[in-house]
Amino acid sequence: MTASSFDVVGIGENSVDFVYRLPGPPSPNAKLPVSAQRVLCGGQVVTTLSTCAAFGLRAAYIGAFGNDEHGSRIRDALAQRHVDTTHAVVRNAPNRYAVILVDERTGDRTVVWERDPRLTLDAGDIPRAVVAGARLLHVDDVDVEAGMAAARMAAAVGIPVTSDIDRATDATAALVASVSVPIMAEHVPSALTGEEDIESALRALRQKHHRMLVVTLGTRGAMLLEGDRLHHVPAFEVDAVDTTGAGDVFRGAFIYAMLRGDDPVEILRFATAAAAVSCTREGAMDGVPTIEEVQRLLATK
């Protein structure tokens, strides 16, 4: 592929996930039996890119893999899902992994993880031509400096930049300011602004270059600020099996609908439906739905 061959380029995290299903949530001093265990592939950005690819977009990943069996496992999984990894790097380190504890009654999960510092992505690892040739850039909040450097490359040539921001750190405000469509976890806007009301927090964060500001609200759906107009779409009701990766699938579906030219409310509806379908199965990348499954759920509401 040439540098201009991709619809979306994603920069950030990949992970091999050890998923354990439990009869209830973990609590202090608890001893819980494991009802099922699987090794699955995930990570914020690669799950988003897998969603984009499943919906027919040409997707490329820029990130760091370890040179162990886990790194090989996730590279193979991305190849099977038609996500290009030509521009990723392989480091002499163990791949990032996570242990995910899933409450089998609700699908809620607890995630613990480890990432070797040698997997840190630097601005020099970002190929400018690949970013500049994409229709859209997606970054997460793992290697913030690399993500912001890529966002500046994209902004210089007028390419929209979406984000996966699920924590508030000293660098988060700068990351939000560097992208054109921040997509944030529910607690982030309030943590950054001190405004308890989400709408007020979004309005406080908004800058002129922001096309839209988006917040995922879990079982309450999602919210989007477009200029002065606030949109809210409720969640679709499904029998949740595992919520792992639902936010990442939401972002991939959001990107697809945005590039398709949908209006903001329809973008939110499509992304919210995709996230709901992903909750009906185990795993992050394994939970990515087909576009037909999303359309069927949309037709019910």
For 130-173, write each residue's pLDDT tens digit: 999 999 999 999 999 999 999 999 999 999 999 999 999 999 99
Sort strands 229-233 and 222-226 into parallel, antiparallel or unpaired.
antiparallel
Residue 113: pLDDT band (50, 70, 90) is very high
pLDDT at 3: 44
CB 121 within 8 A of CB 150: no
Contact criterion met (CB below 8 Å) for 12 and 164: yes
The dihedral region occupied by 82, where left means phi > 0, alpha psi between -120 and 50, and beta the remainder, is left
Phi/psi of residue 168, nearest 5 degrees: -115, 110
CB 193 within 8 A of CB 180: no
Q: What angle do CA 50, 19, 294 make, to 5 degrees?
A: 35
Please list the residues that pair with 84 across neighbouring strands: 60
Model confidence pLDDT, tens digit, residues 80-106: 999 999 999 999 999 999 998 988 888
Q: What DSSP element (H or E) covers 145?
A: helix 144-156
Which residue's entry shows tokens 């990949």? 14
Contacts of 81 (CB under 8 A, 6+ apart): 50, 53, 54, 285, 288
162 Cα distance to chain centroid: 10
Is 283 or 153 the better-scoring residue by pLDDT? 153
Are 175 and 148 in contact by the 8 Å Cβ rule? The answer is: yes
Domains in the chain, please, with CATH? Answer: 8-13+43-93+126-298 (3.40.1190.20)
pTM to 2 decimals? 0.94
Instruction: Give 251-270 pLDDT, tens digit per residue.
Output: 999 999 999 999 999 999 99
Residue 283 region by backbone torsions, left for phi larger than 0, else alpha for psi between -120 and 50, else beta? left
